[in-house]
Structure formats: C-alpha cells, structure tokens
Amino acid sequence: MDRISWDKIDKFRFYGYGTVLFCGLTASLYPLFVVKTQMQVQASQIMQSSSGSRRSILSTVRSIVLSKGVGGLWRGQGTVLVGEIPTQTIYVTVLEVARQTYMGLAVTMFYLACLHQLWFSSDRTNNDCSTVL
C-alpha cells in the first residue's frame, strides 16, 4: 500500500489550498444555513403564537433579500470562518498525524494485514480527533 507520508507533504500548499477550498465551499453553502436558521426561527415563532403558516424556502430567501439585501444571505459568515478555519486546521493535522502513527503501530506492533491496518488506523484516528475537538 503506497501512502504519502505526512512528513513528505508540502504543508504550505496543503494548508493554503485546503483553506481556500474550505472557505469557498463554506461561502457557497452558507446561504442555505442562513435560510434554514430563519425558517427554524419562524417555525418557533409560529408555534408560540399558534397562528399563521410556515413560509417556503423561496419566500424566506425573498424576505431576507428584501429586508437585508443580497449580502444578508452571507451575514455572519466572517464570524463562522474565524472559528472554523483554526478548528479545521487542528482537525486535519491531528487526523493526519494520528493516521500515520496508528498505521505504523498496526504494522510494527500488531503485524496486521493491509485491510486490518486501514481499519485499525481509521478507527483510532477518528476516536482521537473526536476527543481533541
């Protein structure tokens, strides 16, 4: 099994491209989270007042754009990115280092076969990342 070692990865490119791609993905999906949150708030208000009906996704988008402008669909994204970028960086680092470590343990200590190595390293890595973050 040929895997790229964590030591051989160009960290500047890895984190640079990863951060740019992560920010782009977050920016493209963020309006959906804003609309979902607005619909949840609306649903809780309807339940409290027991009157009115729920609006559709399109009417919620229209309402946001009319009241706050198109930028309202991305309102609060800066705050989210400020929290998510360091978290994502730590997560990926712990994931790769732990995967590499456990892959080595699976080979040297336990003499596991190829599929068992993958299972062992993936299982332990997921547990470690969940614990750290």
What Rg do the C-alpha atoms of the chain give, in angstroms? 22
pTM equals: 0.64
CB-CB contact of 96 with 86 (8 Å) = no
Q: In whole angstroms, give the CA distance from residue 83 to residue 94.
A: 17
Q: In whole angstroms, give the CA distance from residue 74 to residue 35.
A: 10
In tens, the pLDDT along 29-63 reads 999 999 999 998 887 776 666 656 667 889 899 99
In tens, the pLDDT along 61-100 reads 999 999 999 999 999 999 998 998 888 888 888 877 777 7
Q: Where are the domains of the chain?
A: 7-75, 77-133
